[in-house]
A and B are shown apart, each in its own frame.
Chain A
Amino acid sequence: MEVPLFLRGIVVITGKNMRLYYTKPPVLMFGLLFPLFMFFAFFVGRHLDLTTFFPAFLAMMLFFTASSVGPLITPWEKREKTYERLLSYPVTQDSIILGDVVAGAVFGIGISLLVWIASIFFVPVVVTNWGLFVLAFILGTLSCAALGALLASPASDSPPNVMILSNLIRFPLIFISGIFVPLQQMEGWALTLAYCSPLTYLVDLFNAAMSGRSVFSPLFDCTVLFVVSVVFIIVARVIQKRNMMKGM
C-alpha cells in the first residue's frame, strides 16, 4: 500500500506546486526575466554567431527556469505555516522533495521548449541528434530542479533569504560553465572551475545534440548530470531530515 501512496503524494504535491508557485514574482523574476536579460546583455548587438551560442543559451534558460521554483517552495510553505499541514497528510518528506523537483523540472521543460520553438523562427538552429536533445532536456531539467530543491534545504522560513543564497550560487555558475566563453577557449583555473560545474556538462550535451561538437562524450555528460541529480536529491533529503530532527 505504501508505494502507490508515495507516488500519489508526489503527483498531488507537484500539481499543488504548479498551481501555487509558477506565478510567484520571484519565480517569474529569476526564472524568466533574468535569463532573457542575460541573453540581451551578452548575445545581442555583439555580432556573435547566434547559431554557435544558441545551445549554451538554451542550457542557461533551462538552468534558470528549472532551478527557480524549488528554492521558493519550502521556505514559502514554512513561512505560511502550510508545511506542517503538508507533512501531516499521507506524504513523506521524500515525496515533498520529489514533488518540488518534478514541479521545477516541468517548469524548466515548458519554458525552455517555448523559447526553443520561438527561436526556430529567428535563429537557424538545427538539431543533429534528437535523442541527445531530448536527453539533454530531461537530464538538464532534472539536475537543475534537484539543485533548486537542494537550495531550499537550509532551515529558513524566509523566501528572500533563500532566493539570495540561491542566486549567489547560480550566478557564478553561468560564468564558469562555457556559456559566454566556450570551453575550448578556457584554460588554467577557469577550466578547472568549469569542470566542477554541472552546467558545463549540460552546455556540452546541448552542443553535442545541436551542432555535433562537444568536449566530452555525450555518455559522460549524461552520466555526470544523472549522478549530480541523485547527489543533490540525497543531500537535500539529508539536510531536510536533519532540520526535522531539530524541529525546523
Chain B
Amino acid sequence: MDAIRAEHLKKTFGSVSAVDDVHLSVKEGEIFGFLGPNGAGKTTTIRLLTGVLTPDAGTVQINGIDIHRHPLDAKMQMGVIPENSTVYGDLSAEQNLQLSGKMYGMPRALREKRINEILLRLGLSDKRRNLVRTFSKGMKQRVSIACAIIHRPHVLFLDEPTSGLDVQSRRLVIETIHDMNEQGSTIFLTTHNIEEANTLCQKVSIINKGKIVAQDSPERLKKMFDTTQSVEVSFDRTVTRDLFAMEGILRAEPCGDKWRLYTDNPDLVLKYLVGRAERESIGITSLSTSGPSLEEAFVQITECI
C-alpha cells in the first residue's frame, strides 16, 4: 500500500492553475523529495495532501484513508511541518508540545515521556519553559518539528524544512528526518535545495507550473536529463576564462575561488589542464571531477517546459 497516493489533483486560484492533474505515489518508508522552482505549486500541493486546502478535483489517500472523506482519521496518521515556523509564540516550547500531544489525543503520561525525549533530542531541554517568541529561527523550527513528530506519525510532511536555517540547525533537522525514517515514517519533503534532495531522497518528483514534469530516483533523473560531468579546478593565482578554451570544455563557470568546467570527457580535460598548467607554470591547488548533478537535471527539466 502507498503511504501517500494522489490522483488527478487540481487546484486553481482564479485563472491561475496552481496544481494541474497531479499524480503522486509515495511508498511506505520512502523519503520522497518534491522539487520545483518558486511558485511551481509545491506548497499548494502539500496543502492539498495534508487536507489544509480542498482540491477542485482529485483524491488524496494517506495510508489508504481518503483525506477529504475522513479528514480526522487521515490527519491522525500524519505530522506536518508547514513552511515558516508556525508554533505559538506566546506559549513555551513545552506548552506547544503539550498542545500538539492533546490534539493527537495522547494520554498524559505518554505525552510527558515523548516531550522529554524530543526536547532532549532537539537540544531544547534547557529552554523548555521559555516562550517560543524569544527563540531564534532555528530553535523555532526545532519546536515546529517537535510538534509534528510528537505522536510518531506514519507520514511526515515537511515544507522547506531547512530554508533559512544555520548549519547546526540544518544538520539537526536532517538528522531528525533520518531518525524518523529509520523508525518507519514515510517522509514527504518539499525543497528547492537540490543538494538536500539528492542526498536525502530515494525518489524525487519535479513540479513546474503546476504539473509534474519528472518523477524518479535522483540518480536516474540525472542520467535521463544530463550526461554532462564537471571538473573543478583551482590555481595558485588568478586565471582568466581564456585558459579553458578547448573543444572538450562545454562551459566554464567561476565558483568561489575555483572554476567549474562542464564536459562530456573529463579525462581529456584533466590531461589538458595538467599540461597547460605545466606549460604556463601555474600551480594547481585542487582538482576534482564530479558526475552529472541533480541541479543540472532540474534546470534542464524546468527550463524546457
Check B73–A88 contact: CB distance below 8 A: no
Check B82–A90 contact: CB distance below 8 A: no
Q: Is the interface of B mostly helix, strand, loop or mixed?
A: mixed
Judge if A85 is at the interface, Cβ distance under 8 Å.
Answer: yes
Q: Is the interface of A mostly helix, strand, loop or mixed?
A: helix
A5–B51 Cα distance when bound, in Å, is 16
Interchain nearest-CB distance for A71 vs B (Å)? 18
Binary contact readout A126-170 vs B (1 if CB under 8 angstroms, 0 otherwise)? 000000000000000000000000000000000000000000000
**Which residues from 74 to 117 on chain A have a C-beta closer than 8 Å to any C-beta of chain B?**
80-82, 84-85, 87-92
Partner of A2 from the list B70, B100, B147 (CB cut-off 8 Å) is B70
Q: With A5-B72, A9-B72 given, is the CB distance from A84 to B86 under 8 Å?
A: yes
Contact residues in B for A247 (Cβ distance below 8 Å): 11, 13, 18, 44, 47, 53
A232–B102 Cα distance when bound, in Å, is 28
Judge if A118 is at the interface, Cβ distance under 8 Å.
Answer: no
Partner of A81 from the list B86, B99, B104, B105 (CB cut-off 8 Å) is B86
Judge if A1 is at the interface, Cβ distance under 8 Å.
Answer: yes
Contact residues in A for B44 (Cβ distance below 8 Å): 247
Interchain nearest-CB distance for B151 vs A (Å)? 10
Give the number of chain B interface residues (Cβ < 8 Å): 36
Contact residues in B for A244 (Cβ distance below 8 Å): 53-54
**Which residues from 188 to 217 on chain A have a C-beta closer than 8 Å to any C-beta of chain B?**
none
Contact residues in B for A88 (Cβ distance below 8 Å): 50-52, 75, 78, 80, 82, 157
Partner of A20 from the list B18, B50, B91, B100 (CB cut-off 8 Å) is B91
- Write the chain A residue with the least CB distance to B50: A88
Partner of B52 from the list A2, A6, A8, A87 (CB cut-off 8 Å) is A87
Judge if A181 is at the interface, Cβ distance under 8 Å.
Answer: no
Contact residues in A for B91 (Cβ distance below 8 Å): 19-20
A6–B90 Cα distance when bound, in Å, is 25
Judge if A12 is at the interface, Cβ distance under 8 Å.
Answer: yes
Judge if B89 is at the interface, Cβ distance under 8 Å.
Answer: yes
Give the number of chain A interface residues (Cβ < 8 Å): 27
Check B72–A91 contact: CB distance below 8 A: yes
Contact residues in B for A20 (Cβ distance below 8 Å): 88, 90-91
Contact residues in A for B104 (Cβ distance below 8 Å): 89-90
Judge if B87 is at the interface, Cβ distance under 8 Å.
Answer: yes
Judge if B174 is at the interface, Cβ distance under 8 Å.
Answer: no
Check A90–B53 contact: CB distance below 8 A: no
A34–B71 Cα distance when bound, in Å, is 41
A8–B99 Cα distance when bound, in Å, is 12
Check A8–B51 contact: CB distance below 8 A: no
- Write the chain A residue with the least CB distance to B84: A81
Check A8–B147 contact: CB distance below 8 A: no
Partner of B103 from the list A2, A12, A92 (CB cut-off 8 Å) is A12
Binary contact readout B85-129 vs A (1 if CB under 8 angstroms, 0 otherwise)? 011111100010001101111000000000000000000000000
Judge if A245 is at the interface, Cβ distance under 8 Å.
Answer: yes
Q: With A1-B72, A5-B72 given, is the CB distance from A246 to B13 under 8 Å?
A: yes
Binary contact readout A24-47 vs B (1 if CB under 8 angstroms, 0 otherwise)? 000000000000000000000000
A20–B89 Cα distance when bound, in Å, is 10
Check A5–B105 contact: CB distance below 8 A: yes
Contact residues in A for B86 (Cβ distance below 8 Å): 80-82, 84-85
15 new A-B contacts, CB < 8 A, other than A12-B103, A88-B50, A91-B72, are A1-B73, A5-B73, A5-B76, A81-B82, A84-B52, A84-B82, A85-B80, A85-B86, A87-B51, A88-B51, A89-B75, A90-B105, A241-B54, A245-B54, A247-B11
Q: List 22 A-B contacts (CB under 8 A).
A: A1-B73, A2-B72, A9-B72, A9-B103, A19-B91, A19-B95, A20-B88, A20-B91, A80-B88, A80-B89, A81-B82, A82-B88, A84-B47, A84-B86, A85-B86, A85-B87, A88-B50, A89-B103, A89-B104, A90-B75, A90-B104, A92-B71
